[in-house]
Chain A
Amino acid sequence: MAKRILFLLNRAPYGSSYALEAIESILVAGVFDQEVSVLFTGAGLYQLLSEQDGGAIGGRTVGKMLGALPEYGVTELFACRPSAERLGLTDANLCLPVTWLDYAEQRRLIGRQDVVTG
């Protein structure tokens, strides 16, 4: 039986390897036929910025890795609207389409999950 798994991404992409390694686990979750969704919140929204180039610091490009999510069956991509307003980000800044959620909608999203992890 498929489980509903939510990955909560709240870290900026290049200050540590957390974002990159978390995305690797999300891709695998997609392959395992689970009901996977991702919520970008706080500084985690910076993972979605377009025009990233991880090569500039000798690493992979996190935005490009996120671009592979739909191919792996992970299509439920949500982002925190209040965080985006605070950071001055809109759809035009992002490399992937996301569904914007206010806090009440995020509470409901969490309330539907079997597993929430980072």
Chain B
Amino acid sequence: MATLHLVNKPAAWEGCHPLLDAQDAVLLIEDGVYLAQQALSGATFYALEPDIRARGLSQRIHTNIRPASFDDFVGLVEGCQRVVTWSA
């Protein structure tokens, strides 16, 4: 993984999407997990599991998006070379 992108709002996706590299990972957090209801392309996608559960989205997450715990979040940060945070 080259870059880990954090997306915390659906509106932040517009800025993030064009700059994704195939080697990158995206972690959807907070309101960003609403994006996980659809297929997303351009990188490897994760969504923060407590944020999914809080919002009642557990049954609505698209199959190409993997749920991630906070420990997974730390692992993703360790595995990347830099973290880019998108907001709007």
Give the interface of A toward B (CB within 8 A): 8, 10, 41-42, 82, 103, 106-107, 110-111, 113-118
Return the contact of B19 from the options A107, A113, A114, A115 (Cβ within 8 A). Answer: A107
Tell me the complex Cα distance, A46–B67, Å.
37
What band does the interface of chain B fall in when counting residues whose beta carbon is under 8 Å from A?
10 to 19
Secondary structure at the A interface, as helix, strand, loop or mixed, is mixed
Q: Are A103 and B18 in contact (CB under 8 A)?
A: yes
A111 with B15: CB separation less than 8 A: no
B14 sits at the interface (CB 8 A):
yes
Interface residues of B (CB under 8 A from A): 2-3, 14-15, 18-21, 82-88
Q: A111-B3, A111-B21 are in contact. Are A116 and B82 (CB under 8 A)?
A: yes
CA distance A115 to B83 in the complex (A): 7
CA distance A17 to B77 in the complex (A): 28
Task: Please state if A107 and B21 are interface contacts (CB–CB under 8 Å).
Answer: yes
Q: A106-B19, A116-B3 are in contact. List 6 more A-B contacts (CB 8 A).
A: A10-B86, A10-B88, A41-B15, A110-B82, A115-B82, A118-B87
